[in-house]
């Protein structure tokens, strides 16, 4: 196992396993220089041991995935947040155990969503440096809505400024 493919697990529909075609994701992954035989995990960049072609170890292959591959990064962000909204502290797992909350809250309120702090703005999200963990925040549905509204408003403001320039 030297390719940057995730540990064998069923492919999520619509998601391609990274590593099968490096060119497909290299355009979106800018934190590595693959021209040198060094570990692709940017915090490492050590020479590759014999028989390794991309990462020095499985541990660093997984660290790379957690910071680039959306399905892995999303889960890592939720785990880091302790499965609670980072803005208001809402914990769906607790709400699910509360019958009153279960009755009153819509299904969408029971999910934790993962927001890109520097917005993707429609860019490819499968494998990208936008999925670095420091660019992800875990939000409940309400906080996510408020945040994306604010992000959109800010973008509109920037567009107006750049149009004027
Ligand atoms: Zn490494
Ligand atoms: Zn919240
Ligand atoms: Zn990166």
d(CA 132, ligand 3 centre) in Å: 6
What protein residues have CB closer than 5 angstroms to ion ligand 3?
31, 129
- Supply the pLDDT for residue 19: 52
Q: Residue 110 class from Cβ within 10 Å (0-12 exposed, 13-18 middle, 19+ buried)?
A: middle
C-alpha 140 – ligand 2 centre gap (Å)? 4
3-state secondary structure of 112: strand
Is 40 inside a domain boundary?
Answer: yes
Is 13 a domain residue?
A: no
Buried b (16+ CB within 10 A) or exposed e, 135-157: bbbbbbbebbeebeeebeeeeee
Distance 91 CA to ligand 2 centre (A): 9
Distance between Cα 62 and ligand 1 center (Å): 10
- For residue 20, the model assigns a pLDDT of 52
Does any domain span residue 158? Answer: yes
Which residues have CB under 8 Å from 46's CB, separation 6+? 38, 39, 56
Domain extent for 42: 22-164
Instruction: Tell me whether residue 14 is in a domain.
Output: no
**Going residue by residue through the chain (165 aa), what tens digit of pLDDT does each one get?**
444 444 434 434 444 445 556 677 788 899 988 888 999 999 999 999 999 999 999 999 999 999 999 999 999 999 999 999 999 999 999 988 999 988 888 888 889 999 999 988 778 889 999 999 999 999 999 999 999 888 888 888 877 776 665
Tally of domains within the chain: 1
CA–centroid distance, residue 63 to ligand 1 (Å): 9
Is 84 within the bounds of a domain? yes
* pLDDT for 5: 46
Among the listed residues 77, 79, 39, the one whose alpha carbon sits nearest the alpha carbon of residue 60:
39
The pLDDT value recorded for residue 106 is: 87
pTM to 2 decimals?
0.78
Taking the CA of 64 as reference, the closest ligand is 3
The encoded tokens of residue 43 equal 């915090």
| Residue 128 belongs to some domain of the structure | yes
Q: Is residue 143 part of a domain?
A: yes
- Give me the pLDDT at residue 131, please: 97
CA 128 to chain centre: 8
Counting ligands in written order, the one closest to the CA of 49 is 1
- pLDDT value, residue 9: 40
In this predicted structure, what is the pLDDT of residue 154?
85
Q: Residue 138 pairs with which residues in a beta bridge?
A: 114
Which listed ligand is nearest to 48 at the C-alpha?
1
Identify whether 36 is part of a domain.
yes
């Amino acid at each position: 196992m030297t390719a940057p493919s995730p540990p064998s697990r069923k492919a999520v529909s619509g998601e391609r396993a990274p590593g099968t075609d490096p060119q497909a994701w290299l355009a979106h992954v800018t934190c590595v220089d693959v021209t040198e035989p060094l570990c692709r995990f940017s915090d490492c960049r050590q020479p590759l041991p014999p028989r390794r072609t991309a990462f020095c170890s499985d541990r660093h292959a997984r660290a790379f995935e957690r910071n680039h591959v959306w399905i892995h990064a999303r889960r890592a962000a939720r785990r880091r947040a302790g499965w609670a909204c980072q803005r208001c502290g809402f914990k769906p797992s607790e709400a699910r155990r509360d019958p009153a909350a279960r009755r009153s809250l819509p299904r969408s309120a029971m999910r934790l969503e993962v927001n890109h702090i520097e917005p993707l703005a429609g860019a490819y999200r499968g494998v990208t440096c936008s999925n670095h963990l420091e660019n992800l925040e875990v939000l409940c549905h309400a906080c996510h809505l408020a945040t994306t509204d604010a992000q959109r408003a800010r973008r509109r403001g920037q567009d107006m400024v750049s149009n004027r320039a």
